[in-house]
Structure 1
Amino acid sequence: MKKVWLILFVLLLAWLSLFVGVHDVSVSGLMQGDELQWLLLVKTRVPRTISLILAGGMLSVCGKIMQHLMQNKFVSAGTIGMMDSARLGILLVMLLFPNSSTLLRAGVAFIFAYIGVLFFLSLSRILPKGDPMILPLTGVMFGNIIGAVASFFAYQFQLVQNLSSWLQGNFSTVMEGNYELIYVTVPVFIILYLLAYQMTVAGLGEELSTSLGMNYQLLQFIVFALVALGSSSVLIMVGNIPFLGVVVPNLVSLFYGDHLKNTMSITVIFGSVFMLICDILSRVLIAPYEIPVSVVVGMIGGGLFLFLLVRRRKG
């Protein structure tokens, strides 16, 4: 029953998202057949709302899966260098193929994101296991190194502004005809959900899952490839969204527990709710101007992240 209420809340926020913005779109105007309002609704508001729901759900469930498989509550695509690796790949495409298609950029971003996460998985095997903060801190440093390399080349070839503006989390540029790649997240989630039982077992550890007859490393390679694909498609379409993959899975764990299979769908819903709320706030806080949603997510998510750190220390 709680899940039903959450779904209804998502639908309510999605409805509100359709009618919030600089330009007036109202139910009465749509019923009267206002062509401009219908154009805005179909071309911008509906694509934007769909993108918010899919991006929030995808990033949240990717964070949940990574935290479960790596047995660490503070791991996400943003804290293991995956997004920085994808960013480096996008920069190389911009340098070598300035007029490349979005599909090519997405493909290269996925390849670099996957290489980055595989490298970090190898690195994680030699790290000390005592303190759970070692893994995310190492991931942040690893990501910063890759990010520094990307920034060096961006400055060298005067692409800093292009890269920064293009990858800043912002849904204001989402329009019909240039956002459809984000639908890749739908089959990715379906496949991940079908693998939920295997991932739940794998989260018990390599030794135990292998003793139960599971090919642990193969499952890791497949799952992290799906995670890289889903995360890079969101990055290409709407930019980088900080903290979401860490905060939402931890909030879900507080209320619903840590069982991956039982909480995957709830994590998706929570992520969509969080993203919709932040985007609506980004449109109304300084209206008629709009704040990039990554700024709002960063402020709220950063505060929640500090809360989770303090709670862990007290626990």
Structure 2
Amino acid sequence: MTRPLPAMIVVMVLLMIVSVMIGAASFDIFAAGSDPWTTMVLMESRLPRTFSIVLTGAALAVAGMVMQQLVRNKFVGPSSTGTTESAALGLLGITIFVPEAPIWVKMIVASLAAMAGTALFMALIRRLPPREVMLVPIAGMILAGVIGAVVTFIGWQTDLMQYIGTWLMTGEFSGVVAGRYEVLWFAGAAAAASWFAADRFAILGLGEGVARGLGLDPKPVMRLGLVVVSVTSAMVVVSVGMIPFVGLVVPNIVSRVMGDDLRRTLPVVAVSGAVLVLACDILGRILRYPYEIPVGTILGVLGSVVFLILLYRPPRTA
């Protein structure tokens, strides 16, 4: 049996090279060391954009896997449970009351708001019948719609709709340059930290009663999972806007192929998420070259089709 991780890493590296080469500005990459123009384009635009895409895809995919373990449901993700909308609500609040706040303050406020929204979703689904699996994503979408409506209403009243569009409707990387994407490294670090607790997340996914029976205290693991999901979602919203479906479809596809061993599958999930977002961003750049289609639009169409396939095609049984 071939190992998927090395193959996915090769695909990711190839797509990163393609991403660096595509753009409205043409240059000779082999002259990067001697031509100041080429060096500037690479260091200020192409490489930051490519790194931000990889970090976003990997972090969102891992956050989706962690969230699915926390709520024990394969049909949820950060973009469908109110997490990203809560992060936008926190950003909106700090923008209204402290508009001159530095980026790290906005990052903290957005993360706390995303954590509160995720905790609210988890509190709501505890009241649902345990056997009604499909009620969980429906509740998440309703909560996301309510929070999104609150964000839109406040943004309309305060004349901040342009910000709302950037956070919740854009999902694109054309504005990423050096100095405007570095907070995504925090999202990558939060996603990487989840690998060290992969076994605990897997045990928690069996249920709190089973976890306690195996000697695991669920509360610290739950808090760690909330931090991973909220920090990742907040950093992505702050940097590039809402990116849909990555945290939903990638964990499902990988788990169907490789099983539910989180320690083994989390690296594959991260690389697969990066590959998916890279491929969609490249597609969005070449379909109407030299203009761009936002990656959020490409993922919205592709992700909905893949999600419907996953929904109506049950996993194969051994």
TM bin, normalised by shorter chain, reads over 0.9
Specify the code of the residue in structure 2 equivalent to 1:88: L
- Mapped to 2, the partners of 1:214 and 1:309 lie a distance apart of 32
Is 1:237 equivalent to 2:239 in the alignment? yes
Given candidates 17, 20, 38, the residue that maps to 1:18 is 20
Identity of aligned residues (%): 34
Report the counterpart of residue 195 of structure 2 in structure 1: 193
C-alpha distance in structure 1 between counterparts of 2:50 and 2:59, whole Å: 14
State the AA in 1 paired with 2:254.
V
What is the CA–CA distance in structure 2 between the aligned matches of 1:228 and 1:180, rounded to whole Å?
17
User: Which AA in structure 2 matches 1:47?
Assistant: P
Tell me which residue corresponds to 2:225.
223
User: Does the aligned pair in 1 maintain the 2:4–2:268 contact within 8 Å?
Assistant: no
- After alignment, is 157-166 or 127-136 more displaced? 157-166
Q: CA deviation at 1:27?
A: 2.8
Corresponding residue number in structure 1 for 2:52:
51
TM-score computed with the length of structure 1 as normaliser: 0.95
Shift of 1:162: 2.6
Report the secondary structure of 1:289's partner residue: coil
* Offset from partner CA, 1:192-250 (integer Å, 9 cap, x none): 11101111111111111101111112210122112211221111111100111101111
Contact 1:93 1:108 in 2 (8 A): yes
Post-superposition Cα deviations, 1:65-107, rounded to whole Å, max 9, x if no partner, equal: 1112211111111121111111111111121122332222211
CA distance in structure 1 between the aligned counterparts of 2:121 and 2:163, rounded to whole angstroms: 28
What is residue 262 of structure 2 aligned with on the other side? Answer: 260
**Structure 1 contact 68–260 (Cα < 8 Å) conserved:** no
The DSSP-based 3-state class of the residue aligned with 1:127 is coil
Mapping of residues 1-315 of structure 1, within 5 Å = 1-30=3-32, 33-167=34-168, 168-312=170-314
8 A Cα contact 1:51 1:179, kept in partner: yes
State the one-letter code of the partner of 1:260.
Answer: L
Q: Distance in 1 between matches of 2:50 and 2:113?
A: 28
- 1:135-186, Cα deviation, whole Å (9 max, x unpaired): 0100110111111111111111111123213542111111111211111123
Contact conserved, 2:89 with 2:113, CA < 8 A, in 1?
yes
Aligned-residue offset at 1:189: 2.4
Q: How big is each residue's C-alpha offset from its partner over 1:260-315, in whole Å with a ceiling of 9 and x where there is no partner?
A: 22100000010000010001011111011111111111111111111112214999
CA distance in 1, matches of 2:150, 2:59: 27
Distance in 2 between residues matched to 1:193 and 1:210, nearest whole Å: 21
- Give the conservation status (yes or no) of the 8 Å contact 1:200–1:260: yes
Which of structure 1's runs of 4+ aligned residues deviate more than 4 A? none
- Counterpart of 1:114, as a letter, is M
Distance in 2 between residues matched to 1:81 and 1:253, nearest whole Å:
24
Could you list the per-position Cα deviations for residues 3-61 of structure 1 after superposition, in whole angstroms to 9, with x for gaps in the alignment?
11111111111111110011113334436x22212110010111111111110000001
In the aligned structure 1, how far is the partner of 2:190 from the partner of 2:226?
11
CA contact (8 A) 1:66 1:76 kept: yes
C-alpha distance in structure 1 between counterparts of 2:66 and 2:228, whole Å: 11
The root-mean-square deviation of aligned C-alpha atoms, in Å, is 1.7
CA–CA distance in structure 1, aligned partners of residues 287 and 293 of structure 2: 8
Counterparts in 2 of 1:160 and 1:7: CA distance versus 1, 3 Å? same
Unaligned runs of 5+ in 2: none
Report the TM-score, using the length of structure 2 for normalisation.
0.94
What is the deviation of 1:190? 2.9
Asked whether the equivalents of residues 25 and 41 of structure 1 are also in contact (C-alpha less than 8 Å), the reply is no
**Deviating more after overlay: 253-262 vs 13-22:** 253-262
State how far apart, in whole Å, the 2-side matches of 1:270 and 1:147 are.
28
SS at match of 1:78: helix
Residue type matched to 1:228 in 2?
A: S
| CA–CA distance in structure 1, aligned partners of residues 37 and 91 of structure 2 | 36
Is contact 2:167–2:237 with CA below 8 Å preserved after alignment?
no
Point out the more displaced range, 285-294 or 154-163.
154-163
